[in-house]
Amino acid sequence: MLPLRKGATTAELVRVAKIMQDDGVDAVEISRGHYESWPGMVLGHYMGFIRGQVEEGSGAMMSRRRRVAMLAAAPFIERAAERLAHGGEGFNLPYAEQFTAELDIPVICVGGFHTTEGMESAIVSGRCDAVSAARAMIADPYLFQNVQAPAPGRPVCGYCNGCIARFGGTRIDCYSDSIRARRDLMITSPEPA
């Protein structure tokens, strides 16, 4: 989805995926990761997103005039994004299931997955063949272990999008202080016997 412009439809992308399948592609992953489709590409929360992008992310390389304009518009844009694109676990599943219905190769879906229930439901329901996670793994590098046997107090991504906002300007990390603190404690704590 490209705001205020025409982009490729899901049906068109399914046709492309069929051609790729016929050419030998092993699997497809369904995502919305195009920078021009913001906020839809990174559903979640947006308050502070533009400031993070302008001050620490790829926006830091923009002209001063553009950065000032973005910061001035930020409160309005972020509030609108918060209302229009709030997300939820498995937010790309409606698209993934359209590919799953048409393809013989595995369809992998990314989009807010972080719980055992959400991941299992997506696969068992046949909406996709596998799930992947990005932001959830930034918050919890042991996500694979923790969805099988959740550790008490484990860090769970709150989808603040701080990691996405800072993309291109600084290192990939969790920018929620409380979640990052739980993650760092989990990583440095000795494993229980």
The reply to whether 2 falls in a domain is: no
Can you say whether the dihedral through the CA atoms of 137, 24, 122, 34 is positive or negative?
Answer: positive
Can you say whether the dihedral through the CA atoms of 11, 13, 19, 21 is positive or negative?
Answer: negative
What is the C-alpha to C-alpha distance for residues 49 and 160, in angstroms, rounded to an integer?
8
The reply to whether 12 falls in a domain is: no
The reply to whether 45 falls in a domain is: yes
The reply to whether 13 falls in a domain is: no
Rank 71-85, 112-126, 150-164, 177-191 by mean pLDDT and report only the highest. Answer: 112-126
With cut-offs at 50, 70 and 90, classify the pLDDT of residue 150: confident
With cut-offs at 50, 70 and 90, classify the pLDDT of residue 151: confident
pLDDT of residue 193: 40
The reply to whether 7 falls in a domain is: no
Domain containing residue 65: 24-188
* Bigger pLDDT: 19 vs 45: 19
Residue 46 has pLDDT above 70, yes or no: yes
Domain count across the chain: 1
The reply to whether 14 falls in a domain is: no
pLDDT of residue 152: 85
Instruction: Work out the mean pLDDT of the chain and round it to a whole number.
Output: 89
